[in-house]
Amino acid sequence: MIHRWLITGAGGMVGIDLRNALELRGETVIPVTKAELDITDGSAVRELIRAKRPTIIVNCAAYTKVDDAEANEPLANAINGSAVELLAQAANDVEALLVQISTDFVFDGSQTTPYEVNAATNPLSAYGRSKRIGEEAAAHARKHLIVRTAWLFGVHGPNFVEAMRNQVKKGTNPLRVVNDQRGRPTYTPHLAGALIRLSLRAAESDEARGIVHYADEGEVSWYGFACAIVAGLGERTFDEIAVEPVSSAEFPRPAKRPAYSVLSTERYTRLTGVDPESWREGLQEYLTLRT
């Protein structure tokens, strides 16, 4: 079947990489930026989707300012939650698959083994709560796929790798980075490939729908990730810049983070026959593109 892909939030970090990956495949892509569509406007959402009649809608639009969400929870809920309900209704109008991107922040981090897709959610933050509302809303689409991911970095948006590079450029030494939060960093071009594989399966089969986790291979702390970034910047930087592990308590933030948010990607591999890519390889590519 030939698909028509509509991407909301097409000007963001994930949206740009997804659009590029689809266009390289020769797919028909309808990219819609934040300026072109306010996803909280129900009539605008319905009119656009009825006019374009996509077969797959990938919602890359999101409120992602985790700390700001603590003071702006109604806005986060509107964008990450209520708007997804509008997209689900519009997807049903045209019998499209709705693909909703979610997050490891729906978990409380109390586990010590990777979170499976059916693990109980218990978000610690306003952002996590808003994304859980979005998951519940997405499930109202008759055809839906919810892809939880984590620790995203890519060249088209702000991210942890760039924050570390900026600190190094400013001469910050040592870099103080939390060492008591663990997860799986994910390079957004790798996520884009995973979204395409999963969406094509889910468009054709009920059994491939529901919740799937995708994160790049390799579990690490933010401190470990920072060490890899500094090492990737070159021997001279690695020799000159110290990376110092600290606790979350020493680095207070408005939003509480899960201490352990490693996602199990077993279902992704089972559905696609493909293992997750390596965040270390993604980091190497990122740093090459940034130099």
Indicate which residues carry an active-site annotation.
Answer: 127
Q: What value, to the nearest 5°, has the Cα angle with vertex 93 and ends 271 and 7? A: 55
Which CA distances in Å does 252 have to 15, 62, 138? 31, 24, 33
Would you call 215 helix, strand, or coil by DSSP? coil
H helices of the chain, in order, are: 13-24, 42-52, 73-77, 83-94, 126-138, 160-170, 188-204, 222-232, 235-240, 266-272, 279-290
Tell me how far apart the 2 most distant CA atoms of the chain are, in Å: 58
Structure tokens at 89: 């209704």
**Before 174, cis peptide (omega within 30)?**
yes
**What's the per-residue H, E or C state across 218-282?**
CCEEHHHHHHHHHHHCCHHHHHHCCEEEECHHHCCCCCCCCCECCECCHHHHHHHCCCCCEHHHH
The length of the chain is 291
Q: For residue 210, list its beta bridge partners.
A: 145
